Chain A
Amino acid sequence: AQSVAQPEDQVNVAEGNPLTVKCTYSVSGNPYLFWYVQYPNRGLQFLLKYITGDNLVKGSYGFEAEFNKSQTSFHLKKPSALVSDSALYFCAVREGSSGTYKYIFGTGTRLKVLA
């Protein structure tokens, strides 16, 4: 069965410093990987995705993520954090085999950027 792990409940980083939010996954076929962000009392917003191609994926608001097949990871990164990046971040995986449409989410990581 597919699964996603976000090992950190919270990540604290100073404004201007680089940030990393970790995600590892487990699927039986090729993974489709996604990052979403949730601001307080809002729905989730899509940030970026990996379907195929370059392992480094660039997304919205300056975020990027690196797909590492050997480590089954898809960590979210940003070179310089902003206070406005503070939010709840979710990693999700969809198994790529046809007919399997389940998107499974991690438990979320709360990012706190300190001024």
Chain B
Amino acid sequence: NAGVTQTPKFQVLKTGQSMTLQCAQDMNHEYMSWYRQDPGMGLRLIHYSVGAGITDQGEVPNGYNVSRSTTEDFPLRLLSAAPSQTSVYFCASSPAYNEQFFGPGTRLTVL
């Protein structure tokens, strides 16, 4: 099993550009989520999904969109990047009510 994979590992964007962070898992987990990690603020939940076709907002959803068309994939879209979105992004998956498995992260810089 590859576990949770994320692409790209690094990305630099200019303000106003859009992009999609990819996340995939091969463990058939129902639950997937996106977090951003900023110094001193821990991990903050952006969006999550409890299954294909079902998504919901987390603590900091503004500026981000998600969709879940398959169990395996959960992409995160930045519609119009802003410097405040400079962060490290982590995707995670889990069976219901259990611990999460995290991807290696994407380091995003918005200039």
Q: Do A and B come from one complex?
A: yes
Could you tell me the distance in whole angstroms from the C-beta of B59 to the nearest C-beta in chain A?
Answer: 8
Known: A101-B96, A105-B42, A105-B44. 18 other contacts (CB 8 A): A6-B42, A9-B40, A34-B99, A36-B102, A43-B102, A44-B43, A44-B90, A44-B100, A44-B102, A46-B99, A49-B99, A51-B97, A94-B97, A101-B31, A103-B92, A107-B40, A107-B41, A108-B42
Please provide the chain B residues from 81 to 107 with a CB less than 8 Å away from any CB of chain A in the complex. 90, 92, 96-105
Using a CB–CB distance below 8 Å, which chain A residues touch chain B?
Answer: 6, 9, 32, 34, 36, 42-46, 49, 51, 90, 92, 94, 96, 101-108
Using a CB–CB distance below 8 Å, which chain B residues touch chain A?
Answer: 4, 31, 33, 35, 40-45, 48, 50, 56, 58-59, 90, 92, 96-105
Q: What is the CA–CA distance of A107 and B38 in the complex, to the nearest angstrom?
A: 9
Residues of A within 8 A of B59 (CB): 104
Question: Contact at A46–B100, with CB atoms within 8 Å?
Answer: yes
Q: What is the CA–CA distance of A24 and B99 in the complex, to the nearest angstrom?
A: 18
Could you tell me the distance in whole angstroms from the C-beta of A59 to the nearest C-beta in chain B?
Answer: 10
Interface of B is mostly: strand
Partner of B43, one of A9, A49, A90: A90
Interface of A is mostly: strand
Residues of B within 8 A of A45 (CB): 102
Could you tell me the distance in whole angstroms from the C-beta of B8 to the nearest C-beta in chain A?
Answer: 15
Question: Contact at A43–B45, with CB atoms within 8 Å?
Answer: no
26 CB-based A-B contacts, threshold 8 Å: A6-B42, A9-B40, A34-B99, A34-B100, A43-B4, A43-B90, A43-B102, A43-B105, A44-B90, A44-B92, A44-B102, A45-B102, A46-B99, A46-B100, A90-B43, A94-B97, A101-B31, A101-B48, A102-B45, A102-B58, A103-B92, A103-B100, A104-B45, A107-B40, A107-B41, A107-B42
